[in-house]
């Protein structure tokens, strides 16, 4: 009887349960609903605390960024909007994500971000080098490959690309961007965004990009990091906004505000930049993240009396996510009570953050697929792209009597310098999750390249810096016992990147003295430079027969260097940044404005010309440019001008030639730069073959320029088109 009663009760319970209406799936969890409706639904369900947490970013793991020292953060709040993840273990990352998705009330996934600047485990050349390749498609491919390694490490968002125009090589962060020209920065930045984000953010292996640092960070006074910048409205429009606008157009998901104070209003609270231009004028739908602790630093910058006021100013300016300072979490509720900010502003910021999480598919697929490490990183195709990009990024600056490539008739080579046995310094700053043990040294690459062909006589010579010249004698002997000498010199990777300003950009004296000592042997000298900024080479250039700027070339860059030395690779890089003759020449960049007295105003003590201009770079082959052909010498503002130049490879080997097209408008209402790059294209030209390069000039896009308010002006009058050493005139009429 008892058993029967139990059975009866159990059956009734089952019937009742099955009649009870199941809880409907909340709209925000419905995969087939639109993102907009899912975000709106979720927002309605969120408490203020939950909202504020979405606007807050913290760290997770051992912080290995020495500029942002923090304690090891093992703990985390699963309600956090985002975590900067100092790790590459997808299992650990998934366990953290599980807490957010399964153990919080609404199950909002965490957005994992990290600085993957030029590669995750496989490092590509630094971005400053990449710009010298003039190969944006290769950059897209590189960023797509590094997105894959990043994604498989559990990171869904990189703080890259940096598209700051940088014209002061004292600033260590020149290494992180694409050089001095806004158009180049725009093209490479947009290709990086396309590479990271792919066709769809929610597809596996794609990650969200972040354009940084918005804005004019490259202009910090004296090249001192984190400093003040004074920038006119005209310069903002002409130079500094350009690459960001292109990145937004390419679909960048996020933007990072910069640390610098811009003419009195730090970017962190610059409503004009964050809201009026970025969000309103350009229609940017993503979110803006602060730079590291930047909201708290507003107090150092003298624009906030306390954290609360700092938070108020940042949020009201349009800064959506607080990186690290924890000010939004602590003060937004009070600021709302005091009516210093509105709920609509908070909601708008949260909406932007949630939208990206939905777009990335994090609500529907919050976990990272776990793939064996051997298939995750350093894959052959990834290394191949990295190697090609390194090769195309290197710039041959000098090649007296064609001493390079190294001739088959020489028997021995001295290989000297602090860089020969080094791996770490080939990596550059921001090493992602890479290890020096995966980076091939120059010594090992040289032995692979020349084994059986040349005797290699190694000597360390000297360290990167310091006064110790006790290695000079051994180096001199190695040089004396060899037919030619290659000196591998440059900067340690900790000398460029963030917080690495230098007051002089020449090589340290000890390295210059080594060059002079070797010169005395009378042996031909080839200098290979590994560095993260343009160097002032005045003291060593005269002693060198050849100079190869190899930059910091990344994991497989060493074999690109040795390939160029041996002639297996024909160099094709051209500078994306000018090399001043001395530090005192700074600023010097190709698109300076014309002077009132072009023939006067020169320095009395040094030449006024830099050593190597933007766009400069040699090849092992020779190219002949035909006369430029224009579709017309007179066009209406609404008509295109088609310009063609035929480039003939007249040398003995195949080569890749980047053709750079510039315009000049010397009778403008507001003075224009002496010349402005408007288009570039790089193509392979086989020996003995000719290729036509075409520039389809659209006056609206290529000849108009902004006034200080951003309004585009297109003027009639005389213009010049420049390519190679040619300059042709054409007229634009109404
Ligand atoms: C740098 C950013 C970087 C951030 C997070 C800051 O110090 O300026 O470029 O993305 O740290 O690591």
Angle value at C-alpha 113, between 112 and 115, nearest 5 degrees: 155
Which two structure tokens, joined as six digits, stand for 40?
């709106």
- 20 has a pLDDT exceeding 80: no
Q: 136-152 vs 380-393: helix axis angle to the nearest 10?
A: 140
| H helices present in 219-290, as ranges | 233-235, 242-249, 271
The end-to-end CA distance of the chain, in Å, is 102
Q: What is the pLDDT of residues 342-380, one digit of tens each?
A: 999 999 999 999 999 999 999 999 999 999 999 999 999
Angle value at C-alpha 445, between 441 and 450, nearest 5 degrees: 150
Helices and strands (DSSP H and E) totals, the chain? 21, 28
Is any ligand 1 atom within 6 A of the Cβ of residue 494? no
Instruction: Determine the pLDDT at residue 477.
Output: 98
pLDDT band of residue 68 (cuts 50, 70, 90) is low
What spacing in Å lies between the alpha carbon of 166 and ligand 1's midpoint? Answer: 17
Instruction: Determine the pLDDT at residue 599.
Output: 82
Strands in 561-711 per DSSP E: 623-625, 629-630, 634-636, 641-649, 655-664, 676-685, 690-697, 705-706
Check if 291 is active-site: yes
Instruction: Determine the pLDDT at residue 66.
Output: 66
Distance from C-alpha of 474 to C-alpha of 486, rounded to nearest angstrom: 15
Q: What is the pLDDT of residues 446-463, one digit of tens each?
A: 999 999 999 999 999 999
- Nearest residue by C-alpha to atom 11 in ligand 1: 292
Whether omega before 580 lies within 30 degrees of 0, making that bond cis, reads: no
Which two structure tokens, joined as six digits, stand for 595?
């002077």
Q: What is the pLDDT of residues 501-545, one digit of tens each?
A: 999 999 999 999 999 999 999 999 999 999 999 999 999 999 999
Provide DSSP, 261-278: EETTEEGGG-HIIIIIII
Is any ligand 1 atom within 6 A of the Cβ of residue 538? no
| Integer CA distances (angstroms), 653 to 114, 483, 547, 689, 730, in order | 43, 25, 20, 10, 36
In residues, how long is the chain?
A: 734
pTM for the full predicted model: 0.96
Is any ligand 1 atom within 6 A of the Cβ of residue 73? no
| Integer CA distances (angstroms), 549 to 114, 414, 534, 675, in order | 29, 19, 9, 25
What spacing in Å lies between the alpha carbon of 574 and ligand 1's midpoint? Answer: 29
> Domain limits of the chain?
385-585, 623-733
Question: Given this chain, do its domains 385-585 and 623-733 carry the same CATH topology?
Answer: no
What does pLDDT average to over the chain?
A: 95
Q: 442-450 vs 558-566: helix axis angle to the nearest 10?
A: 40
What spacing in Å lies between the alpha carbon of 231 and ligand 1's midpoint? Answer: 22
Strands in 419-545 per DSSP E: 455-459, 484-490, 525-530
Is any ligand 1 atom within 6 A of the Cβ of residue 633? no
Strands in 471-524 per DSSP E: 484-490
Distance from C-alpha of 94 to C-alpha of 353, rounded to nearest angstrom: 20
- Asked if 122 and 378 touch (Cβ cutoff 8 Å), the reply is yes
Distance from C-alpha of 528 to C-alpha of 390, rounded to nearest angstrom: 14
Active-site position among 291, 320, 576, 702: 291
| Integer CA distances (angstroms), 249 to 187, 227, 681, in order | 11, 29, 21
What spacing in Å lies between the alpha carbon of 140 and ligand 1's midpoint? Answer: 22
Which two structure tokens, joined as six digits, stand for 72?
């090891």
With respect to CATH, is domain 385-585 assigned 3.40.50.300? no
Distance from C-alpha of 255 to C-alpha of 160, rounded to nearest angstrom: 9
With respect to CATH, is domain 623-733 assigned 3.90.1640.10? no
- Asked if 495 and 175 touch (Cβ cutoff 8 Å), the reply is no
Residue recorded with tokens 């953060």? 73
Report which of 383, 486, 478 is spatially closest to residue 442, judged by C-alpha positions: 486
- Nearest residue by C-alpha to atom 6 in ligand 1: 292
* Backbone dihedral angles phi then psi of residue 698, each to the nearest 5 degrees: -105, 110
- 134 has a pLDDT exceeding 60: yes
Is any ligand 1 atom within 6 A of the Cβ of residue 115? yes
- 14 has a pLDDT exceeding 70: no
What spacing in Å lies between the alpha carbon of 291 and ligand 1's midpoint? Answer: 6
Q: What is the mean pLDDT of residues 260-274?
A: 98
């Amino acid at each position: 009887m008892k058993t029967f009663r139990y059975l009866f009760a159990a059956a009734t319970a089952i019937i009742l349960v099955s009649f009870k209406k199941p809880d409907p799936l909340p709209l925000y969890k419905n995969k087939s609903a639109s993102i907009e409706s899912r975000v709106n639904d979720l927002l309605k369900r969120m408490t203020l605390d939950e909202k504020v947490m979405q606007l807050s970013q913290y760290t997770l793991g051992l912080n290995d960024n020495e500029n942002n020292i923090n304690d090891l953060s093992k703990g985390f709040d699963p309600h956090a909007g985002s975590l900067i993840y100092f790790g590459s273990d997808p299992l650990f990352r998934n366990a953290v994500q599980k807490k957010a998705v399964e153990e919080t009330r609404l199950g909002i996934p965490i957005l994992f971000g990290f600085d993957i600047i030029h590669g995750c485990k496989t490092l590509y050349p630094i971005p400053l080098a990449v710009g010298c390749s003039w190969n944006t498609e290769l950059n897209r491919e590189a960023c797509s490959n590094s997105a894959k390694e990043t994604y498989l490490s559990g990171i869904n968002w990189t703080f890259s690309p940096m598209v700051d125009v940088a014209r002061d090589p004292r600033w260590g962060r020149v290494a992180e961007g694409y050089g001095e020209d806004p158009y180049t920065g725009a093209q490479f930045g947009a290709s990086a965004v396309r590479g990271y984000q792919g066709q769809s953010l929610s597809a596996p292996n794609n990650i969200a990009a972040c354009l940084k640092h918005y804005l004019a960070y490259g202009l910090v006074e004296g090249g001192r990091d984190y400093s003040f910048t004074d920038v006119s409205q005209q310069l903002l429009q002409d130079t500094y906004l350009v690459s960001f606008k292109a990145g937004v157009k390419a679909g960048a998901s996020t933007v990072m505000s910069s640390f610098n104070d811009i003419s009195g209003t730090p970017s962190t609270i610059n409503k004009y930049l964050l809201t009026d231009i970025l969000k309103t004028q350009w229609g940017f739908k993503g979110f803006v993240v602060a730079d590291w602790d930047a909201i708290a630093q507003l107090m150092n910058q003298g624009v906030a009396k306390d954290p609360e006021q700092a938070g108020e100013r940042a949020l009201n300016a349009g800064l959506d996510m607080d990186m690290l300072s924890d000010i939004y979490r602590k003060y937004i509720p009070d600021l709302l009570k005091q009516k210093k900010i509105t709920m609509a502003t908070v909601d708008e910021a949260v909406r932007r953050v949630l939208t990206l999480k939905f777009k990335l598919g994090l609500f529907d697929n919050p976990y990272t697929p776990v793939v064996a490490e051997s298939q995750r990183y350093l894959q052959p195709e990834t290394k191949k792209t990295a190697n090609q990009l390194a090769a195309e990024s290197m710039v041959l600056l000098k090649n007296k009597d064609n001493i390079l490539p190294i001739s088959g008739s020489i028997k021995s080579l001295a290989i000297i310098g602090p860089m020969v046995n080094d791996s770490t310094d080939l990596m550059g700053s921001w090493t992602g999750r890479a290890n020096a043990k995966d980076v091939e040294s120059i010594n090992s690459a040289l032995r692979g390249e020349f084994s059986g062909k040349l005797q290699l006589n190694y000597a360390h010579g000297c360290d990167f810096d310091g006064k110790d010249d006790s290695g000079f004698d051994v180096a001199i002997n190695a040089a004396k016992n060899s037919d030619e000498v290659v000196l591998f010199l440059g900067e340690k990777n900790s000398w460029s990147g963030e917080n690495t300003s230098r007051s002089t950009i020449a090589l340290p004296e000890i390295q210059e003295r080594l060059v002079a000592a070797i010169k005395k042997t009378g042996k031909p000298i080839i200098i290979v430079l590994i560095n993260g900024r343009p160097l002032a080479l005045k003291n060593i250039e005269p002693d060198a027969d050849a100079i190869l700027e190899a930059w910091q070339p990344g994991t497989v860059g060493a074999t690109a260097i040795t390939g160029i030395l041996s002639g297996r690779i024909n160099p094709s890089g051209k500078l994306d940044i000018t090399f001043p003759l001395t530090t005192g020449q700074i600023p010097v960049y190709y698109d300076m404005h014309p002077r009132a007295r072009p023939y006067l105003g020169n320095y009395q003590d040094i030449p006024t010309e830099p050593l190597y201009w933007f766009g400069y770079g040699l090849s092992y082959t020779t190219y002949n440019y035909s006369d430029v052909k224009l579709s017309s010498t007179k066009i209406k503002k609404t008509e295109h001008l088609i310009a063609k130049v035929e480039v003939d490879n007249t040398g003995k080997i195949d080569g890749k030639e980047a053709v750079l097209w510039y315009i000049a408008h010397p009778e403008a209402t507001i003075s224009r730069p002496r010349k402005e790059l408007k288009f570039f294209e790089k193509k392979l030209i086989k020996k003995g073959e000719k290729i036509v390069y075409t520039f389809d000039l659209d006056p609206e896009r290529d000849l108009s320029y902004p006034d200080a308010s951003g309004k585009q002006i297109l003027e009639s009058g005389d213009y010049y088109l420049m390519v190679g050493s040619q300059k042709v005139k054409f007229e634009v009429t109404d």
